[in-house]
Structure 1
Amino acid sequence: MDNRIHDINNVISNAIRVMEDSKVQIFEICESARQELQALELELDTVIQETGEVIDKADELENQYRMARIRLTEVSRDFVKFNEQDIKNAYDKATQIQVEKMMYAEKEQQLKARRDDLQKRVRNVDMSIERAQTIHSQINVVLEYLSGDLNQVTRILESAKNRQLIGLKIIVAQEEERKRMARDIHDGPAQSLANLVLRMEIAERMIVKQEFEMVQHELKDLKAQVRSGLEEIRKIIFNLRPMALDDLGLVPTLRKYVQDFEEKTRIRTKFETIGREIRLPSAMEAGIYRLVQEAFTNVIKHANATYVSLEMTYQAQLVKILVADNGVGFQVESSEHLAAQHQGSHFGLIGMRERAELLEGRLEIESAKDQGTKISIIIPVNAQERKE
């Protein structure tokens, strides 16, 4: 056993060293790509500004050319008032403006082509950065799991394998949550802000041209977009930790969550409370909220249900949470066996059981094939007091 542990230690140490080196290289690649992206975005902004200026100049030349054509027509028709030199001057001016207009039209096409090329390169580099960040995150997951106390290997080998898997699953979940948040911010508020900057520049040009009616319409759209971006930010904050949990308490926050769940999923829901509601310690309320959230998430992923109910019972020494659905159900014994063998999709239930145990509570599951599922969670309300 000692030689086996020593060999495992060497393998893990070598793996950690290789991954640390790879992590540094990926970070350098990512930083280089970010610098390239910054330079491309700066060049793109310059090209966009130049394109706008060229378009404005082309519009101005178009107006001048139209006026020159009108002037040429006037002098060509009135031989009494205008002589041959006047006609020649009008013709030369119209020709000069036409040539200049064609030059700016060509320049406009070139700038637009350059702009499109830069936008494509910006998207490609941005995707490369995202892929590098994903690989970097995956390496972090493995390093965080492997870099623990290697002297604990004996106990890890002797303990249940599913606990190791749960630990890794928790780390993966944390990294996935960070990645989801970054993606939500990038695709939501960040894109909205970038679009706002561009549209504000357009509004500025409209003001210069005194197109006030169009400016008013643009500002109305901008206001709507700001409100939409603010709503996205509030949703992200709510997913991190619902502020209503601290301000209003557990029951109002769960009621709002259940309503939003029904609107989003079109699954009919019901929420009931029994007994007199009491405020619980903040950590306990947060833990219960996450347990309910995970139970409802499992309904979406696995139950294929059309109805789910949440019942909370307040008693003197405990709080009972009951989540029931009319979904496809499953064999409880086989699901736990598969989870222990790291082959099933029931890590969520195991994680819920672990979370309930952290609150010194217990979780029970009743289910059968095509009979729906009931998850009962009992939390002693004086658990925090006993700990303190």
Structure 2
Amino acid sequence: MQVDVFDRVIKNAINVMENSKYQVFEICESVRAEREALNNELQLVIEETKKMIDTVDRFEVDYRRSRVRLTEVSRDFKRFNEEDIRAAYEAATQLQAQLAIHREKELHLKHRRDDLQKRIKNVDKQLERAETLVSQFGVVLEYLSGDLNQVTRILESAKNRQLLGLKIILAQEEERKRIAREIHDGLAQNMANMVLRTEITERMLAKEAYNAVKNELSDLKLSVRSGIEEVRKIIFNLRPMALDDLGLVPTLRKFVQDYEEKAKIRTKFEMVGKEIRLPSGMEVAIYRLVQETFSNVHKHAQATHVTLELTFQQQMVKLTVSDNGMGFSTENIDKKIANGTHYGLMGMRERVELLEGRMDIESTVGVGTKVSMVIPIKSDSREE
């Protein structure tokens, strides 16, 4: 390919990426505005709900008093005549109707509040995906906008190609760190809503509305537990902090132990050779590869045992994951991966190729599967 043709292709790609980036940015701004509007509406609904609960409480007290009054006038015929009984009955009936109407309004407001919270959660997910796309566009444009000769040298140099892959992986991990921080900070809003619901429950408890309190507390407890579990899981999956603090081997050992406990699949971890601290991006990539491989075993293999073997050598790191699952036919497996039939394997192979590695798959139906990944270590990419 001639340089001028290559340059024209690059420029066209940059133009398309720039236009797409601005479009996604506009989507981000629109989603942010929608989120703000939904949040304002939610606060109004929460306030209306609190007021309606107070109103219902007052009507319940008045209705109970009217029932007591009706019972009193109905029993004492000496003190009260039929007109008094009729008036007491009409008052009780009217209060009962008003109570039913306001209870229905309270229920409607609660449903509306829950619906708004779900919509805000969905909007947050859309915003997260859009911001991820903007960040990824920026990473790609940074490399495409560089000097053409520099791009050519990168493509011709094996060492620089690996460094390019490491930079892309590091950029992805930085984005995951940012998302993790945003999720952590955004949790405060959800917790504030839970606090408001707790205050409402306390008021209901003071009014002795025990059945309503019980239902509200049950829903609140489930929401808190689910939210905390989900946030912890997302934050840990986005960035396992143990990689930075302890290194690859202890992190993988802990991952295997947790996997055995959660998946109920017996696991074994073996390390061969002397551990070498690798660049952060490479360690993250290896961790993601193990994570994806074990996830595939859990989803598809129906295995009862899985083994991870991590081998350190002078010039390479080798990962081998073996299971005793149902296996599959490897006929034309490379073609199927290339065509996107096996998305998980395709993503793993792309990640390995970014590091200039090689991935091999051996599988026999009814026996099990063995996935081997070899990643070269450049002499200047070690960390003592």
**What TM-score, normalized by structure 2, do the two folds share?**
0.68
Q: Which one of 318, 323, 335 corresponds to residue 320 of structure 2?
A: 323
Higher relative contact order, chain-length normalized (CA < 8 Å, sep 6+): 2
- 1:95 paired to 2:105: no
**Partners of 2:69 and 2:88 within 8 A in 1:** yes
Distance 1:270 1:166, change over 3 A: same
**Partners of 2:267 and 2:306 within 8 A in 1:** yes
In the other structure, the counterpart of 1:360 is none
In the other structure, the counterpart of 1:348 is 348
Gaps in structure 1 of 5+ consecutive residues: 358-362
| Residues 1-388 of structure 1 mapped to structure 2, 5 A cutoff | 1=2, 3-5=4-6, 7-8=8-9, 10-12=11-13, 14-76=15-77, 79=78, 82=79, 84=81, 88-89=83-84, 91-117=86-112, 119-120=114-115, 123-124=118-119, 127=122, 130-131=125-126, 134-135=129-130, 137-153=132-148, 156=151, 159=155, 193=191, 196-209=194-207, 232-245=230-243, 250-273=248-271, 281=277, 287-288=282-283, 290-301=285-296, 304=301, 306=303, 307-312=305-310, 321-326=318-323, 327-328=327-328, 330=330, 335=334, 345-352=345-352, 354-355=354-355, 365-370=359-364, 372-375=369-372, 377=374
SS of the equivalent of 2:321 reads: strand
1:223, 1:124 → 2: CA distance?
Answer: 20
Aligned-residue CA RMSD (Å): 5.2
C-alpha displacement of 1:256: 2.2
SS of the equivalent of 2:307 reads: strand
SS of the equivalent of 1:372 reads: strand
Percent identical residues: 24
Distance 1:350 1:305, change over 3 A: farther
SS of the equivalent of 1:270 reads: strand
SS of the equivalent of 2:268 reads: strand
Gaps in structure 2 of 5+ consecutive residues: none
Which structure: larger Rg?
A: 1
**Partners of 2:139 and 2:168 within 8 A in 1:** no
1:305, 1:127 → 2: CA distance?
Answer: 33
Distance 1:222 1:6, change over 3 A: closer
Distance 1:182 1:108, change over 3 A: farther
**Partners of 2:320 and 2:372 within 8 A in 1:** yes
**What TM-score, normalized by structure 1, do the two folds share?**
0.68
C-alpha displacement of 1:104: 3.9
Amino acid at match of 1:256: K
2:335, 2:92 → 1: CA distance?
Answer: 82
2:7, 2:31 → 1: CA distance?
Answer: 36
**Partners of 1:331 and 1:369 within 8 A in 2:** no
**Partners of 1:54 and 1:107 within 8 A in 2:** yes
C-alpha displacement of 1:379: 7.6
**Partners of 2:362 and 2:369 within 8 A in 1:** yes
Distance 1:179 1:193, change over 3 A: same
C-alpha displacement of 1:106: 2.2
